[in-house]
Amino acid sequence: MLYQNTDFYVQHHEVVLTVLFDIQISDNWPGYSLDLFTYPQHYYGDLEYVLIPHGIIVDRTERLAKDIMQDIGDNDIVVLCVLKGGYKFCADLVEHIKNLSRNSERFISMKVDFVRLKSYHNVLIVEDIVGTGRTMKVLLNNIEKYKPKMIKVASLLVKRTSRPDGYRPDYYGFEIPDLFVVGYALDYNEHFRDLNHICVINDHGKAKYRV
Ligand code: HPA
Ligand code: MG
């Protein structure tokens, strides 16, 4: 009897776990209530829920910084930030790489550039979100003309689209459902860049900022 109960509990627990937060955010992930966090008052009533809280973004970015540092070894890199959506992620990623490198044996020299190209050796492209990957493929084609020694792509988000041949960046923070998201520098018609958390906007928000 006791075992049966335990089994049931374990099974039930596993079902619950499938909708819990992961790097692969599932389509049925309900997000966090907006009441749990703070966010700018001018966006009250414009958002549906918090998809990824700011703290988790920053912590995940720190881990990506560690992975990137491990892979680039002793090579110096040039960081290319794809504006404007990429600036928050880029700033935090570079800050984490600097901090990690300050506390390690080797120091990695880093120059940050905003898509102005010369002949670089190692390039890290930093992007906010990759959807179909069409934009990224064009950018990669352009950068490959400069024959860099190494070229890596880090994107905070990858959107699950219906295209199975979708481009995969070398590093990414989260895979998200096919939703329109804002915050942490991602915008809707230039609004919501000042929101810390990554959120889903509601119909009211869409109507308010429609152009
Ligand atoms: N939000 C903001 N910008 C974007 C998105 C998104 O979901 N997808 C592509 N660009
Ligand atoms: Mg972008």
Rounded mean pLDDT, 119-141: 86
Q: Report which protein residue has its CA nearest ligand 1's atom 5.
A: 180
Q: Is the CB of 186 inside a 6 Å radius of any atom of ligand 1?
A: yes
Q: Is the CB of 176 inside a 6 Å radius of any atom of ligand 1?
A: no
Nearest Cα neighbor of 151 from 117, 120, 129, 175 is 120
Q: Which two tokens stand for residue 94?
A: 């570079």
Neighbours of ion ligand 2 (CB under 5 A): 85, 128
Rounded mean pLDDT, 48-57: 97
Confidence of residue 184 (pLDDT cuts 50, 70, 90): very high
Rounded mean pLDDT, 30-35: 96
Confidence of residue 8 (pLDDT cuts 50, 70, 90): very low
Q: Which two tokens stand for residue 85?
A: 């959506």
| CA gap 20, 163 in Å, rounded | 25
Confidence of residue 40 (pLDDT cuts 50, 70, 90): very high
Q: Average pLDDT over the chain, rounded to whole?
A: 84
Q: Is the CB of 131 inside a 6 Å radius of any atom of ligand 1?
A: yes
Evaluate if residue 180 carries a pLDDT over 90.
yes
Evaluate if residue 189 carries a pLDDT over 80.
yes
Least confident of 41-45, 92-96, 98-102, 151-155: 98-102
| CA gap 179, 129 in Å, rounded | 12
- Tell me the whole-structure pTM to 2 decimals: 0.84
Ligand with an atom nearest the CA of residue 180: 1
How far away, in angstroms, is 125 Cα from ligand 2 center?
11
Asked if residue 70 lies in contact with residue 117, where contact means CB atoms within 8 angstroms, the answer is: no
pLDDT at 22: 79
Exposed, middle or buried, 26 (CB in 10 Å: 0-12/13-18/19+)? middle
Cα-flanking dihedrals φ and ψ of residue 88, to 5°? Answer: -65, -50
Confidence of residue 31 (pLDDT cuts 50, 70, 90): very high
How far away, in angstroms, is 124 Cα from ligand 1 center?
21
Give the ipTM.
0.95
| CA gap 137, 167 in Å, rounded | 8
Q: What confidence tens digit (pLDDT) does each residue in 71-124 have?
A: 987 777 888 888 788 899 999 999 999 898 887 765 555 555 544 555 657 899
pLDDT at 161: 83
pLDDT at 1: 37
Q: What percent of the chain has pLDDT over 90?
A: 56
Minimum-distance ligand 1 atom for the alpha carbon of 179: 7
How far away, in angstroms, is 38 Cα from ligand 1 center?
22
Q: Is the CB of 181 inside a 6 Å radius of any atom of ligand 1?
A: yes
pLDDT at 77: 83
Measured at the alpha carbon of residue 108, what is the angle toward residues 171 and 149, in degrees to the nearest 5? 60
Question: DSSP 3-state assignment of 41?
Answer: helix
Long-range contacts of 52-55 (CB under 8 A, 24+ apart): 52/25, 52/174, 52/176, 52/184, 52/197, 52/198, 53/197, 54/184, 54/196, 54/197
Exposed, middle or buried, 16 (CB in 10 Å: 0-12/13-18/19+)? exposed
